[in-house]
Structure 1
Amino acid sequence: MSADFVKYPETNYFTSLILDYLSEKDELKELYNRFPRIENFDSQIEEKKKSYNNKIRKDLVEVLQDQYSGITVSEATKANIDSLSSEETYTVVTGHQLNLFTGPLYFLYKIVSTINLTKKLKKQFPTKNFVPIYWMATEDHDFEEINFFNLNGKKFKWNNADDKAGMTAVGNLSTEGLDEVFKLFSAEIGGGENAEYLKKLFERGYLQHDNLTDATRFIANEIFGKYGLVIIAAGDKRLKKHFVPFAKNELTRQISFQETSKAVGKLNELDYNVQVNPREINLFYLDHEIRERIIGKEDKYFVNDTEISWTKDEILKELEDHPERFSPNVMMRPLYQEVILPNLCYIGGGGELAYWLELKSYFEAEKVTFPMLLLRNSALLQTEKQNTKRERLNISLQELFLKQHELINRKVRKISNIDIDFSPQKEHLVEQFQGMYELAEKTDESFLGAVKAQEVKQLKGLENLEKRLLKAQKRKLKDEVERIAELQNDLFPNRSLQERQTNFSEFYVEYGEDLISKLMEELDPLESNFKILTFGK
C-alpha cells in the first residue's frame, strides 16, 4: 500500500469556514478554545480536570457495563471502560448517526481518527489514560438520512414498516424488515471469505438484535472492539440526571439561544454560512411514541404537534422525575456530552465543526470546558490499477478533484494538437477596446455604452468559438475523454467524495481486515491533509 495526500484547499470540497479554521485565522480564534496540536493538550487536560464532576464516573461506568452485557467485549474495551473510574482518564469523542451498515466510508475515518488520537495522547502523557468514544446518535429522528447504504453503485434501502419511523428516536426502532435488505445485500456481495464475514456481520447485527441501537453497537464493536473503542448510548436516566440543571436553565432562561446567537452574528458578520440556527428552546420531549420539540409560550410549555402541555412548575417536576424524557437537539447535545464525559477533544466532519464553532460562549456561560475541535481524517481509496491509469492519463492528484467538465477541458487542451485557449485573443481584444473607450470619452461619452456592448458581444463570440472548438476536439479525442470520465466516476461516485457515498463493504470484500489495519496505520488525526491511499490489485 502507498499513501499520498492533497492539501484540503486543493480539493475544492471544504468550506471557507473550515479552511480558515484549519489555517487558524485570527478572526475565528474567539470561537474555539485551543487548536488541536499535541502540545496544547496539556492545558486542555488541566482545564477539564478542574471543571469535570468526577462523581459522574461511577454512573458512566455502570451504564457502559450494562450496555455491553450480552455481547463479546475485547480486553482493550473492557480495560478502557474500567479506566473511566479513574480521575486520570480522559476521553476523545466522535459522534455519528445510526446509519444502516455504518453508512458511508467516513464513519470508519471518524472512528479511526478517534482511536489514533488516543494513542498519540497516551504516548505524550503516559501517566494518564485516554479512551476513544463513539457517541451513538440514538435520539436522532432523521430516519430518511440513515435508512440506506450504497454498494457497487446500488442503493440498499430499509423500508421500515414502523409507523413511528421518523417520528421518534431512531435508536428505539425495531429492526423488522432488515431481513429483506440482508437478502439483497447477500446476493450483491457474492462469495469468498471476506464476503461471508460481511454477511455474518450484517445478519448477527440486524437480524439477531431487536432495535437499531443494539444492532449498531454490535457492528461497531465487531469492527473496532479490538482497538479499545467504547460505544455509548447516552439516553440512560442515570446519565441524563446529571444534565438536569442545564436543561432547567434551557427551559427557564434560554441560555443556549442567547449565547449561540452571538456566535451566529459573528459568523454572519464574517460572511460564513451558518450551519445551524438556534431555537429559543433547544430540547425535545421524548418517549417511545414521539420525539418532538418543546415550545415555551406565555408561561406554559407545549410539545409540538401534540396535546401535551405543562405549567413551569409541572415541566420542572417532569424534568426532575424523568430526565430521560428530555432530549437535547443539535445545539445542546454537545453540552450534554461534555457534562457527562471527561472529554478533551471532539472529532467530526466539516459540518459538525461548523456548528460546534457556534457554541463556545454557551459553554462558558454554563461553566463547562469547551473541547478541542479536530477535523476528522478524509481519504480517497484507490487501487494500483486506478493509480496507474491516472498516471497514464497524465492527471495529477489535485486534478482528480476538479469538476468533471473542468478536468476534461483541461486535459483536452493539454493533449490537443491545436491550441484551444483564446485567452491571448481575449486580452488583445480588451486592449483594443480600451483605446475605443478613450476615444469615446474625448468625443462623445454617450458612445461609451455602445462601445461596451460591442466589447461584450465580441468577447462572447470568442468564448462561443472556443467552446465549439473544444467540443469538436472532445469528439476527436472521444476515447481519451471517456477514459478520463470513467476514472473520475469510479473514484468520485455521484460526482461526490467517495467517503460520502460508498459503504466500507465495497472495499472490505476485496481487502478484508487489511482495510481497517491500513487505515489505522495511515490516518494521522493531527495531519491536516486529504489522504490518497492506494491498495494492491
Structure 2
Amino acid sequence: MEIDCLPFYKTGYFTEFICDYLAEEPQVRNFYHRFPNLDNFEAQIAEKATSFPDGNREVLYEALQKQYKGFEVTDATRTHLKKLKEPITFTVVTGHQLNLFTGPLYFLYKIVSTINLTKELKTAYPKYNFVPVYWMATEDHDFEEINYFNFRGKKLKWNRTASGAVGHLDTKGLDEIFEAFSNQIGNSANAKALKELFRKSYLGHNNLAEATRYLANELFGKEGLVIVDGDDRNLKSLLLPYAEKDIFDQLAYKKVSETITGFEALDKKYGVQVNPREINYFYLKDGLRERIVEQNGAYFVNDTEIRFTKEELQKELKAYPERFSPNVIARPLYQEVILPNLCYIGGGGEIAYWLELKTMFEAMQVPFPVLLLRNSALVITDKQKGKLEKMNLSVADIFLRQSSFINKKIREISNIDIDFTPQKQYLEEQFKAMYDLAEQTDASFLGAVKAQEVKQKKGLENLEKRLLQAQKRKLKDHVMRMTEIQNELFPNKSLQERNVNFSELYLELGEDLIPMLLEALKPLQLEFTVIKV
C-alpha cells in the first residue's frame, strides 16, 4: 500500500469555509470552541468531565443494553459499553443516515476516522478511556435520500412508499434488492461474503434501524464501535429541559440566527448551511414526523389536526418524551447532552452547520465539542495505478477539472510547442516601439496602437487554441485513455467516496478493506488521502 496526501484546498472539492476552518483563519475563529489538534483535547476532557452528570451515564448504559438486546456483541464493544459508566470515559462521535447497504464509501471513512481518533487519544491521554460511537439517524424522514446505493454506475433502489422516521420502516421489498445485487456481483468468495452480509442485515431483521445496527456491528464490532439510536424514551427524557427552552423560549432560534447574521456580515462567500426554525422539533408518532409550529400561543403539528395549548404541550413532553424528535439544529445538542462526548467527526456540510451552533450551546450551558472534518480518501487499485503510471499521470493531475487536465497533459506530451507565451512576449516588445512613437503624436494614435496590440494578442490566443484542439484530435486515443481513468476514479465528475459503495472495493480487497483503511486514515492529519493498493 502506498499513501499520498493532498491539502484539502488543492482538491477543488471543498468549500472555502471549510478550507478556512482547517487553516485556522482568524475570521472563522469565533465559530468554534477548540481546534482539532491533540493538545486541545486535554482542556476538552476537563470541561466535559465537570459538566456531564453521572446519572446521565447510567441512563445511557441502560438504554444501550436494551438497544443491543438480541444482537451479538463483540468483546471490544461490550468492554466499551461497561466503560461508559465510568467518569473517566469519553466518546468520539460520528453520525450518519441509514443509507441502504451503507450508501457511499464515506460512511466507512467516518467510522474509521472515529475509531482511529479514539486510539490516538488513548495514546496521548492513557489514564482516560475513549469510545468510538456511531449515531444512527433513525428519526430522519427523508426516505429518498437513503433508499438506494450505487454499484458499478447503476442505482439499486428500494421502491416503496414510506412516511415517518426511516428507522421504523419494515424491510419489506429488500429481497428484490438482494436478488438484483446478487445477480451483478458474481460468485467469488468476496461476492459470497457480501451477499451473506446483505442477506443477514436486511432480510434477517424487522426494520431498518435493526438492519443498520447489525451491518455496522458486523463491519466494525471488532474495533469496539458503540452504536447509539437516539429514538429512545429514556434518552430523550434527558433532553426535556433543553427541548422546553427551544420550544417555548425559542432560544435555539434566537442564538443560531445571531450566528448566521455574523456569517453574512463577515463575508458573503460563507453560505448558510441550515436555517433554524422558531421550534426545532418534530412530533413523532405512528408513521408521522411533522414539524411543531406555534401560532398565537397555540401549538400545531404541521399538516395534521393535532394541536395543543402550551400547558398541554408541556404535559405531552413530560409524559411522552419519545414523541419529540430534534431536527438538524437540535439533534447535535441532544447528542452532547446524552453522551460524554469530546469530538464530533463529520463531512464538510456537517461541520459547516455545526459551526452555526456554538452560541446556542453556550446559551444552553452545554460544552461545545471539538469539530473534526472526517477523513476523505481516493482508493486506487493496482490496475488503475498501472494505467496512471503508464500515462505519467500524477495525483495532482487527476484532481484537475477535466478540461484543465486534458489541456495540461496535451501540452506536456505534444511533440510541438503549443505555448505561445514567447510569441506574445515578442509581440509586446514590438509594440513598445509603437507606443514610443504614439507618445510623440497624439492620444488618438495611442488608442489605435493599443487596439491593434489587443487584436494581435487575441489572434495569437485563437491560434494557440486551434493548435491545441488539433493536437487533441491527433492524440485522441491518449485523451480517451486519460479521461477514462479519471472518470473511473471520479465518477460523475465527483469524488469517489460520494458515489461508490464499499462493495466495489470489497469485491477486490475482501476482509483486507477495513484493516487497510484503519492503517491508512489519520484523522488529525487534516489532509486528503490517496491510497494505492
Normalising by structure 1, report the TM-score.
0.94
Q: Which amino acid aligns with 2:41?
A: F
Distance 1:264 1:22 in 2: 20
Q: Which amino acid aligns with 2:213?
A: R
Distance 2:216 2:363 in 1: 35
Tell whether the 8 Å contact from 1:172 to 1:288 is kept in structure 2 after alignment. no
Q: Which amino acid aligns with 2:115?
A: I
Distance 2:283 2:450 in 1: 62
Q: Counterparts of 1:43-192 in structure 2 under 5 Å?
A: 43-160=43-160, 162=161, 165=162, 167-192=163-188
Tell whether the 8 Å contact from 2:435 to 2:446 is kept in structure 1 after alignment. no
Secondary structure of 2:283's aligned partner = strand
| Equivalent residue number for residue 28 of structure 2 | 28
Secondary structure of 1:111's aligned partner = helix
**Corresponding residue to 1:327 among 306, 325, 328:** 325
| Equivalent residue number for residue 42 of structure 1 | 42
Cα deviation, 1:230-249, whole Å, max 9, x if unaligned, reads 00111101000111111111
Structure 2: which 5+ runs fail to align? none
Distance 2:305 2:437 in 1: 74
| Equivalent residue number for residue 228 of structure 2 | 232
Q: Counterparts of 1:355-374 in structure 2 under 5 Å?
A: 355-374=353-372
Q: Deviation at 1:447?
A: 9.1
Secondary structure of 1:512's aligned partner = helix
Q: Which amino acid aligns with 2:224?
A: G
| Equivalent residue number for residue 212 of structure 2 | 216
Q: Counterparts of 1:389-404 in structure 2 under 5 Å?
A: 389-404=387-402
More deviation, 464-473/174-183:
464-473
Distance 2:164 2:483 in 1: 43
Secondary structure of 1:483's aligned partner = helix
More deviation, 307-316/396-405:
307-316
Distance 2:450 2:245 in 1: 62
Tell me, yes or no, if structure 1 residue 487 matches structure 2 residue 485.
yes
Query: Cα RMSD over matched residues?
Result: 2.1
Q: Counterparts of 1:380-391 in structure 2 under 5 Å?
A: 380-391=378-389
Secondary structure of 2:372's aligned partner = strand
Distance change in 2, residues 1:423/1:132 (3 Å): same
Q: Which amino acid aligns with 2:219?
A: I
**Corresponding residue to 2:415 among 411, 414, 417:** 417
Distance change in 2, residues 1:458/1:240 (3 Å): farther
Secondary structure of 1:507's aligned partner = helix
More deviation, 452-461/182-191:
452-461
Normalising by structure 2, report the TM-score.
0.95
Cα deviation, 1:62-105, whole Å, max 9, x if unaligned, reads 11111111111100001111111111111000000100000011
Q: Deviation at 1:19?
A: 0.9
| Equivalent residue number for residue 301 of structure 2 | 303
Tell whether the 8 Å contact from 1:379 to 1:532 is kept in structure 2 after alignment. yes
Q: Deviation at 1:350?
A: 0.7
Distance change in 2, residues 1:319/1:482 (3 Å): same
Distance change in 2, residues 1:112/1:432 (3 Å): same
Secondary structure of 1:526's aligned partner = helix
Secondary structure of 1:55's aligned partner = helix
Distance change in 2, residues 1:469/1:260 (3 Å): same
Cα deviation, 1:495-521, whole Å, max 9, x if unaligned, reads 111011100010111111101011111
Tell me, yes or no, if structure 1 residue 249 matches structure 2 residue 219.
no
Distance change in 2, residues 1:201/1:463 (3 Å): same
Secondary structure of 1:520's aligned partner = helix
Report the identity percentage: 58
More deviation, 314-323/233-242:
314-323
Distance 1:441 1:348 in 2: 66
Distance 2:421 2:148 in 1: 47
